[in-house]
Amino acid sequence: MPECDLSFSPFSTDEAGSCKLIELSPDLTALIEDALSKDEDLRFTIKGQPNEDAVLCTANKTFGMRSVGLSNTILVVTAVPDEHASKFADEAVVIRDQLNEIIELNPVVPKLHKLSALIRGREYEDGQEDLLEDDPNSIPFTLQDAQEQIQASPAELDKGLRDRRILIINNELRPIAPAFLNRLLQLILNILVSKSMKHAAASVDELSSTLSRDHEIPTNVSNQVMSWFGEIKEGRWNMDVAAVVKEVGLGILRGHRHDPIEKDDFLLQWTMQVGDTFESSVKLDLIAGNYIEVETLGSDSTTLKYFPASELPVDPAARFSDLFLTRTQWKGEDISPFLSDIAVNNKERDKLLLKYCRTVTGPGGIRYTARAQYNG
């Protein structure tokens, strides 16, 4: 084994703390090795405001960064800089920094909840193309702003904008008004039927021009909405039937935010609004995580109450507190949809259930109830 002289660098005091050691997860290691083998550029981005825990983002995933202390000190050494080579032996290396901790990376849910606060009050209603004309003091929140401020990978941010139904109008992020979105989808369904267009290969130009001409809906808006609810390829729109049917159902349910609706009445309205062509796709499973069933005393009927997971706290302890204030016991299949946006996968979801719940076995099977206290 070769021997060398080890000395402190002349800059070791200034450079102390300038190096960080990151432990790569297996999937990140594979990503780097694959990029190196293909001679491709690979970029990681660390995001976080001063009051936030930092995250590391790849092209499509977000990883939480956690500092873990080391039992042994690791020395960062390099060859002697050329300008100082005369002061050291020929085989010398210098200590540039000393590390006593390592940064662990673990997959986390992207921090998309901030979007709602950052674009509050900027809803796009029918005909409101330019928000600045209505409020000259309004400062636009752009896609670039979101890329810089939201702790999410580019792919996760793009999916978040789609899932939250956020338009890009004049380079500004504008959440579409739910009532307007519901009306627009029903217009699209009516046009498909009236023009005998196949929903799996509808002409984008014909749909958007009809919406513009007959209903004064800008092409930019209708095209973005179609891209949320299906795939656009070579001028044809392949509609995602389940996604459209789900959104129509949610539109009906939102209208009963303060007035629960009887389940059979809800299903009847839902099937009527989507029409004969798509009524077979109407299923309550589509809107799981957006409602709870409420039994009516003295009646065999069941009512549905609008209760969206998207409006619950992001912090797990606070979310479980809200869930158990709403219902003292939950079936596993009922509570799971309300945890999907705060757990990376089923394994993490099960960890949350184990931490914040206890199980009770009764005649109806296993139920989850609140623990005596939450240790957030």
pLDDT value of residue 242: 97
Give the C-alpha separation, 325 to 318, whole Å: 11
In the chain (376 residues long), the average pLDDT of successive 10-residue segments reads: 63 71 88 89 90 92 92 81 61 78 93 91 79 64 94 96 94 94 95 95 97 95 97 97 97 91 95 94 96 78 92 95 94 95 94 94 88 58
Give the C-alpha separation, 240 to 306, whole Å: 24
Plot region of 5 (φ>0 → left; ψ -120 to 50 → alpha; else → beta): beta
Total Cβ atoms within 10 A of residue 123: 16
Give the C-alpha separation, 290 to 319, whole Å: 14
pLDDT value of residue 258: 87
Total Cβ atoms within 10 A of residue 320: 27
CB 106 within 8 A of CB 66: yes
Which residues are CB-neighbours of 256 under 8 A, at least 6 positions away?
Answer: 266, 304, 305, 306
What domains are defined for the chain?
6-107 (no CATH), 110-176 (no CATH), 312-376 (1.10.10)
pLDDT value of residue 41: 84
DSSP annotation string for 254-319: HTTSSS-EEHHHHHHHHHHHH-TTTGGG--GGGGTTSEEEEEPTT-S-EEEEE--GGGS-SSHHHH
Residue 105: phi and psi, rounded to 5, are -115, 130
Task: Give, as one character, the DSSP assignment of residue 21.
Answer: -
Of 196, 168, 166, which is closest to residue 181 (Cα–Cα)?
Answer: 166
The pTM score is 0.84
